Each structure stands twice: as C-alpha cells, then as structure tokens.
Amino acid sequence: MILIVGGAGYIGSHVNKALNEAGYETVILDNLSYGHKEAVKWGEFCECDLSNIDDVDEMFNKYDINAVMHFSSFIDVGESVTNPEKYYNNNVVNTMNLLHVMLDHDVKKFIFSSTCATYGVPQSIPLTEAHPQSPINPYGRTKLMVEQILKDYDEAYGLKSIILRYFNASGADESGIIGESHNPETHLIPLILDAAIGKRDDIKIYGTDYDTPDGTCIRDYIHVTDLASAHIKALEYLTENNTSNNFNLGNGHGFSVREVIDSVKNVTGREFKVSEIERRPGDPAVLIGSSKKAEDLLGWIPEYGDIDDIIRTAWTWHQELNKE
Ligand code: UDP
C-alpha cells in the first residue's frame, strides 16, 4: 500500500487518482488544514496530523505501507518570510516525524515534493539538477533542508528517496472532478480564472519591466496530470533500483504572464480587466526547467506542453468549483 501524505491537496489528490488507476492501493493522511476531504475520492482516508507521532505510528500499524509520498507542506513564499516558524515546523519538523515513524516501521521508500525554489536565482536557463541550490526565502530553505536530511538518512539508515523538484504546477484532471483550490489563492492561473469568472475585479500583473520579450515574468507551467505520471514513474524507479535520486519536473517551455492571460481570454472567451502594478519582491525574470534527466532515467513523457490545454483543464475545474 502507498501512503500519500497530503493526499487531500492539489497535487496529492491527482497522484492519488493516478496511483489507483495504475492499480496501486492507497491510504491518504491529511489534517485537512488546507486539503479538501472531497478531493479524496480514491483509497482509504485518515484525518491525522504529522505533529502527533502516536497517531502516525498507529496508522503505520494499521496499514501495510511499503512506500510514502509526501505532499503536505506549506507553500506560500510570502508567508514563509513573515512567519518562518510556521514553515520550519510543518515543512521540516513534521517531515522528520514522518521519517522517524517510517524508520521505526522499516519503511524505506520515500518520494518527496520539492521545488525549483531550492535553486534560488538562476545562473543559467534552463535549470538542470546540477544547478547550485541557494534558495532565497524560508520556503525554499525548508525544502532544501529536507533534501539534505534525506541524503544523510540514506547514508545512515538506508532510507531511499526520490526528490522531485516541481516547477509551476498547473491545470486540473481532465475529468473536472479534482483541481486546484487554495485559500487564500496566490497563484497566477486560478487568480486569472477568478477574474474571468467575475469573482475578482481584475488580474494584476506584477511587473512589466523585466528583461523578457514582453516585460513580464516567464515561468514553466507543468500540468498536474504530468506531475502525477512522474510520481508513478518515480515509484517504479525506486522499486526497481532501490537507489536515491532527484529530478526536475517542468515542461521545458516558458510562458510569460501576458501569454497566460491571453490564453485565458482565448480559451474562456471572457474579457476582464488587466492592471499593471509594481514587481513582487523575490520574483526572478525567467524560471524554466530542464526535465531531460526525468525523461531519460524515468522514461517520463509530459503530455501537456501547450498553455491552452493547461488553461482549458483548469477552466473546466474552476467552473465546477464555482457552481452555485
Ligand atoms: N503573478 C502576477 N499576478 C498575480 C500572481 C502572480 O503577475 O496575481 C506572476 C508572478 O509574479 C510570477 C508568475 O505570475 O511571475 C507566477 O506566479 P505564481 O505565484 O503563480 O507562482 P511562482 O512562480 O511564484 O511559484
């Protein structure tokens, strides 16, 4: 059985679906602080908090767990600057609790959601796994710390891990029954869709004077269904090779904020107001990843390279989410 920690969240719920479709049995651990019970449509569900080691231990007694995928971390970069304790506690301390219980139960396969934010300001584009890791905010540092812990735990305890560094997770499952829903929402695509659906007066572009062709930031938007398939490939790799490794997961193409807005207008057929405001602190001009290593070693082939496809699936879900 595969344990999905944070399986009621955006990426975890998509991976849960993919695992079940691939024939795996899953158990989902989530404290529902940010996750949604309705997103757990497959597998067994345990409402449990990683800060409570006894509860986590009980879960490991109850289920025959052979690998763990860990998605439950806080992700708001700005909040991590103003309230770092919240981030170090959850993203680092709680992860250590989970690893502690795993080792107690001799479970030694771990797949970890990391981020391109561990690289910090890019020295070269596209970012490869060999790029130096020098995060510029507490959020990125919490993820890098766990990466370092995992390296030490492999050497000392033989705990094998696959670290997956996501670029900008986006889109929704084609079915329209699960998707992205954060509260508060800070991510570009759901915010634009809010403007398109009339829930927001406008979309604000953070900075139009970057050194990019249209002056707005460029990001690598990777579809959540592609992230999900990469997790299955990572699990297979870990099972076959019993060796730790790390991989970038991006689609290799960058889209500017303006291109994403144009795609939303094109896909939804809706008009909305676009405001241009000052830069958001800490945003690099361009973040694009190379996922060649994942393609070569995992045999992973992302399917959603086109921004309109990403927006189309996100829009279907967004309409479902905002139904009266
Ligand atoms: N962005 C924006 N307006 C918004 C939200 C985001 O212009 O209301 C920009 C942001 O500056 C960045 C890109 O959109 O360049 C993606 O931001 P997001 O917060 O979705 O993801 P991040 O790249 O920060 O992980």
| Atom from ligand 1 closest to the CA of residue 117 | 25
**DSSP string across 119-153:** S-S-SSSSB-TTS----SSHHHHHHHHHHHHHHHH
Ligand 1 centroid–CA 209 distance in Å is 15
For the Cβ of 76 lying below 6 angstroms from any atom of ligand 1, the answer is no
**DSSP string across 155-224:** HHH--EEEEEEE-EEE---TTSSS----SS---HHHHHHHHHHTSSSEEEEE-S-SSSTTSS-EE-EEEH
pLDDT category at 207 given cuts 50, 70, 90 is very high
For ligand 1, atom 25, name the residue with the nearest CA: 168
% of the chain beyond a pLDDT of 70: 100
Model confidence at 324: pLDDT above 80: no
Ligand 1 centroid–CA 225 distance in Å is 21
Residues carrying an active site annotation: 139
Our mutation pick for probing the ligand 1 site, out of 11, 206, 208, counting the most ligand atoms within 8 A of Cβ, is 206
- Count CB atoms within 10 A of the CB of residue 3: 26
Closest C-alpha to 19, from 84, 68, 54, 52:
68
Ligand 1 centroid–CA 221 distance in Å is 11
Query: For residue 132, with 0-12 CB atoms within 10 Å meaning exposed, 13-18 middle and 19 or more buried, which class applies?
Result: exposed
% of the chain beyond a pLDDT of 90: 96
Mean pLDDT along residues 224-230: 98
| Atom from ligand 1 closest to the CA of residue 218 | 15
Looking at the DSSP assignment, which residues form a beta bridge with residue 168? 221
In tens, the pLDDT along 41-78 reads 999 999 999 999 999 999 999 999 999 999 999 999 98
Amino acid at 272: F
What integer pLDDT is reported at residue 106 of this predicted model? Answer: 98
For the Cβ of 200 lying below 6 angstroms from any atom of ligand 1, the answer is no
For the beta sheet containing 160-166, the strands, ordered from the edge strand earlier in sequence to the opposite edge, are 44-47, 26-30, 2-5, 67-70, 109-115, 160-166, 245-249
For the Cβ of 192 lying below 6 angstroms from any atom of ligand 1, the answer is no
Ligand 1 centroid–CA 205 distance in Å is 8
pLDDT category at 180 given cuts 50, 70, 90 is very high
Q: Cα separation of 63 and 70, whole Å? A: 17
Would the CA dihedral through 181, 187, 188, 191 be positive or negative?
positive
Mean pLDDT along residues 69-92: 96
In tens, the pLDDT along 256-274 reads 999 999 999 999 999 999 9
For ligand 1, atom 6, name the residue with the nearest CA: 188
Looking at the DSSP assignment, which residues form a beta bridge with residue 166? 115, 249
Tell me whether strands 44-47 and 26-30 are parallel, antiparallel or unpaired.
Answer: parallel
Ligand 1 centroid–CA 207 distance in Å is 10
Mean pLDDT, the chain, whole residue set: 97
Mean pLDDT along residues 145-163: 98
Mean pLDDT along residues 82-94: 97
Ligand 1 centroid–CA 208 distance in Å is 12
Tokens of 237: 């790799």
| Atom from ligand 1 closest to the CA of residue 257 | 14
For ligand 1, atom 11, name the residue with the nearest CA: 206
For ligand 1, atom 5, name the residue with the nearest CA: 188
What integer pLDDT is reported at residue 191 of this predicted model? Answer: 97
What integer pLDDT is reported at residue 101 of this predicted model? Answer: 98
Ligand 1 centroid–CA 187 distance in Å is 6
For the Cβ of 318 lying below 6 angstroms from any atom of ligand 1, the answer is no
Our mutation pick for probing the ligand 1 site, out of 188, 219, 273, 280, counting the most ligand atoms within 8 A of Cβ, is 188
For the Cβ of 191 lying below 6 angstroms from any atom of ligand 1, the answer is yes
Model confidence at 115: pLDDT above 90: yes
What integer pLDDT is reported at residue 282 of this predicted model? Answer: 82
Residue 304: CA count within 13 A, CB half-sphere = 28
